[in-house]
Structure formats: C-alpha cells, structure tokens
Amino acid sequence: MYLPQELIRRKRDGYTLSDDEITFLVSGISSGRLVDSQVAALAMAIYFKDMSVQECTALTTAMLNSGERLNWQEFSLPGPIVDKHSTGGLGDMVSLVLAPIIAACGGYVPMVSGRGLGHTGGTIDKLESIAGYNVNPNRSQFQNLVKEIGLAIVAPSSDIAPADKRLYAIRDITATVDSLALVCSSILSKKLSEGLNSLVMDIKVGSGAFMPSQEQCERLARRMVAVATQAGCKTSAILTDMNQPLAPSCGNSLEVMEAMDYLTGQNKSSRLHQVVMALSEMLLVDSKLVDNAEQARLKISRVLDSGEAAERFNRMVAALGGPRNLLEQGKSHFPKAPVIAPLLAESSGYLTHLDCREIGMSVVALGGGRIQSDQMIDHRVGLSRWRQIGDYIHENEPLVMIHANDQSSWQKAARRLHGAISLEGEPGEIPSVVYQQIVS
C-alpha cells in the first residue's frame, strides 16, 4: 500500500514512478480514494515534471484498464482492426471519409469519436446533423456493425477509461490540460480501448491547432507513437497544417455534405485529399493490408472510383438510423440556415494569413459549437467556400459564405472574420499540407 501524498511528492520532485505506483494512483482516481485536491496536485506535478515514455505507457494502460475494452476474438474478423485520431481542427472531416475508405480496403474501423472542443469541430456533432443517426448504439450493435459493414463511428460510452474522465475534468479547471504526458495518456487510453491492431495519428500544427507550435506537436507525436507502440498497438503519425481550414467548409452539416461530395467524386478539396491519402496510405501499410505506399494509393483510388467507399458510408448511416438514400438524395436531407450570404473582400490583394482559431470561434458564436458543455448545436450554421492562402482576391469578391440564423448573427460573424483575414499586395508563403511523418 502506498501513500498518495508521498507519490505526489516524488513526482513533484522529479522522480520516476514505477508501473505499480502509477496503477495505484489511477485506481485511486477511479475509486475516489484520491480526493480532488490530490488529483489536482498530481496533475500539476506531472505538468511541471513530465513523464518518461515508460511512465506514460503505465498511465495509459492503467486508465485503459479502469474501464471496459472491446474484444474482437468471437467475431473472427478477416482483417485488421484499425483507427485514426486527430488532435482537432477546422474543416477537418477526414474521419468521415477515411473510415469508409479503409473499410472498403479490407480494414475494420470501430471509430469512437468525440464532440467539438473549444474552437474545433467534433465528428459526433457532425454525424448528428444527419437526421436519425444514432451515435449511441449498444456494444453488441456497434461490434456487429463493424463486422458487417467494416466501420461504425459512434460516441464513447461511460464505460471507457472512467479514470481519464475524472482526471480530465480536474485538468480542465486547473490549467493542466496541455501537459504532454496527460494529453498523450488521455487520448490513447480511449483509442486503445477499441482493441486496435494499428492506429494513425493526425497532429495538427498552426493557429487553429490545439498546440500551435510545430516543435510541441512533434514532441507530442513522437511520444504518442512510442507509448501506443509500447502498449501493443502499431502506431504512426503525421503533422499536418492547420493555419487555414483543411477544407472549404466549417460547420456540422456543411462538413458532412463536403465529405459526401468527396466520397462520390463530385468535389475533392486538394488539401483534404492530401491528408486523407497520407493517413490512409500509412494505415494500410502499417496494418499489412498492402506491402507499400504505391499499392495503398492504387487500392484507395479503386475504392473511391468504384463508389465502394461511398457505399460503405451510406450503409453505416442507414444501419445507425439515418436515411437509406443519403448519397442519392444528397443535400436535400440537410436543412439550410435562414441567412446565407458571402463575406466580400474590402480591398484587393493576396490572401496571406488566416487566424484559424478566430475563424473557429466565429463558427461557435454562430451556434455551430458550444460555449457551455450542455449547449445545443445548430447544425445548419457555419462557413463554406473558403478561399485559400495564396489566392488573389479582388475587392468585393467573396472570401467565404456565412451561414447564419439571422442577419444580426451574420453581421457579428462578418466583423469577426474580417479581423481574421489578411490581404496583402504581395503573395506570402503558402503552407505545406503535410509537414512530417513519424513512424514507430
């Protein structure tokens, strides 16, 4: 038996905790044996002193074991169980297209996703813009859908990593959310509960990212790859740009419609496509569904061109209570915002900079995200047809379309967005989309 305060003191003083000591602390977080002040002190000690890869692995495993994890043995799946995670951004509907692509290529994707956090959008909020879509099936339904269709995208249950749920709530009010070790363990304890063979991580870099600094993001990516691999899941990561929205649409139903356009071949945003391809190639190679990146590219192109990936998405939506003809009827299933109008450029020039975080907060202010955790979302509102950095824009030309509830909301968003956009006489540097790959 250990004394919690003694373990907290040791971590505060920079000592390395053993696996057993970390397991004891996590058990105390789950059971309530550690009071809130002790959990807060532990979080602050970890924030300042960090953790080794081994400590992070022990923390991840202990939080994972505090709840239930999926077991796939009885399902005898003929392919690998795989998933993808993103640290969040704007116009990032990669999950909606990657999961059906991988399923059509022979993988099985039990994707447990989250809601929007701060200025970033959430996959579950996006899917809830589809009428009837049930993000909370029971475990049996979820696993059977993965077996039958190859994928299911759902919300996390309360049984997954309950220790992390309590720890995160305390981190949120003690300024310790952005601890490298705690971010890593929080994400991975939930993802590894899916019973994965392989995982790819999309770590966003830039003004719209959770961690704007590329150096910070690289450290996080390397830590997560090392910890997940040590915990038994083959993991790789890429660093991708979030200095502008990944795709031209930001907002829940708008992003679902863009994902549908991508899957059906009606429109493929270049930036979105580059990230989807990089992650999908990496996941197919890591899970041994193909031998190399060239084979991966050919396979991905085949399932997109044939419509097989789109069909997987359609089947998943129907199986979870959504429309059976979503792809056929397309955008008619989604109600439009009452006010849709372009934001016009006030002068001519090259688009050189976008404050991505401010853009995200403008979507939140329109009603497309949450200021309070229990807030209802308006799935209709958002932004579409974004111009890209490097574009030359003439005065009175549209910069973006604003989808709002009313004229007053539209005007407030317009003022905010004008402050987030920079037009200059000379073109600036156009950011790369994929910065770096990190493999185990």
Q: One of 23, 57, 86, 235 is an active-site residue; which one?
A: 86
Catalytic residue among 23, 57, 83, 120: 83
Has 269 been annotated as catalytic? no
Is-contact 162 190, C-beta < 8 A?
Answer: no
Q: Which residues contact 414 (CB under 8 A, 6 or more apart)?
A: 343, 402
CA distance 350 to 206: 20
Q: Is 191 a catalytic residue?
A: yes
Collapsing DSSP to helix, strand or coil, 223 comes out as: helix
86 annotated active-site: yes
11 part of the active site? no
Residue 83 appears among annotated catalytic residues: yes
> Do 279 and 273 form a contact (C-beta atoms < 8 A)?
no
- DSSP class per residue in 273-327: HHHHHHHHHHHHHHTTSSSSHHHHHHHHHHHHHTSHHHHHHHHHHHHTTS-TTHH
Q: Annotated catalytic, 186?
A: yes
Q: Which of 115, 126, 166, 171 is catalytic?
A: 171
Burial of 31 (0-12, 13-18, 19+ CB in 10 A): exposed
Tell me, yes or no, if 273 is annotated catalytic.
Answer: no
Show the 3-state SS of 69-86.
CCCCHHHCCCCCEEEEEE
Q: What share of the chain is helix, strand, coil (3-state, %, to 5)?
A: 50, 15, 35
Which residue among 11, 119, 191, 403 is the active-site one? 191
Query: Is 84 in the active site?
Result: yes
> Among residues 165, 166, 190, 299, which one is catalytic?
190
Q: How far apart are CA 304 and CA 285, in angstroms?
A: 18
Q: Which candidate in 11, 30, 57, 85 is catalytic?
A: 85
The residues near 377 (Cβ < 8 Å, ≥ 6 apart) are 116, 125, 128, 252, 367, 368, 369, 370
List the catalytic residue out of 11, 84, 115, 119. 84
Secondary structure (DSSP) of 10-36: HHHTTPPPPHHHHHHHHHHHHHT-S-H
Point out the catalytic residue in the list 95, 113, 186, 198.
186
Residue 402's nearest CA partner among 417, 387, 420 is: 417
Neighbouring CB atoms inside 10 A of 159's CB total 12
Q: Is 394 a catalytic residue?
A: no
Angle at alpha carbon of residue 189, lines to 192 and 224, rounded to 5°: 85
The number of beta carbons lying within 10 Å of the beta carbon of residue 6 is 9
Which residues carry out catalysis?
A: 83-86, 123, 171, 186, 190-191
